[in-house]
Chain A
Amino acid sequence: MQREELEPGAAALVVGPVEARRSFCLDRLSTADRSAVAVLPPDPAGVVEGYRRAGGEAPLTVVARDATTDAGRLESDDVRVVDVDAASLPAVGEATLATLGADGPAPPADRLWLADLSGPLERTSVQQVYRLLYILSEHVERVDGVGLYGLGPSVDGKTTGILGQPLDYQVTVRPGGAPTFGSPAGRIDGAP
Chain B
Amino acid sequence: MTTETGATGGTGSEDLTATGAESASKFREVVGLLDGWSPDPEDRGTEVSRQLRETLDRRLNDAESSRWDRDIVERRRGALTADVTVNGEIAVAVLGSARMAAVSSVRSRLDLLGGRYNYLVVYWRDAVAEDGDARRLIERRATARSLGVEDVSFVGPEPPGAAAGEGTGWPPSPATALVALVVPVGLLFAATGAARGFAVVGRFPPLARAFLAGVGLLFLLVLAFAALLVR
Contacts and interface: CB of A to CB of B under 8 A. Distances in A.
Interface in A131-145: 131, 134-135, 138
A88 B18 contact: no
A1 interface: no
Nearest to B14: A90
A125 B23 contact: yes
Interface of B: 1-3, 8, 11-16, 18-20, 22-23, 26, 66-68, 70, 72, 76-78, 80-81, 85, 87-89, 115-118, 148
Contacts of A89: 16, 68
B118 A158 contact: yes
Given A90-B12, A124-B18, A131 B78 contact: no
Contacts of B2: 189-190
B116 A138 contact: no
Contact of A130 (B20, B87, B148): B87
A93 interface: yes
A163 interface: yes
A90 B116 contact: no
Nearest to A125: B18
A188 interface: yes
A99 B50 CA distance: 35
A118 interface: no
Nearest to A191: B2
Nearest to B24: A125
Interface residues on A, range: 20 to 34
Nearest to A123: B18
A189 B22 CA distance: 27
Contacts of B70: 131
Contacts of A76: none
Interface in A176-192: 186, 188-190
21 contacts: A87-B15, A89-B68, A90-B66, A91-B15, A93-B13, A125-B18, A125-B19, A125-B20, A125-B23, A127-B18, A127-B26, A131-B68, A134-B72, A138-B8, A158-B116, A158-B148, A162-B89, A162-B118, A163-B88, A188-B76, A189-B77
Interface in A151-174: 158, 161-163, 165-166
B15 A131 contact: no
A186 B16 CA distance: 26
A88 B78 contact: no
B11 to A, nearest CB: 7
A126 interface: yes
Contacts of A70: none
B149 to A, nearest CB: 9
B13 A162 contact: no
A131 B26 CA distance: 14
A128 interface: yes
Contact of A158 (B26, B80, B115): B115
Interface in A102-151: 124-128, 130-131, 134-135, 138
Contacts of B16: 88-90, 124, 128
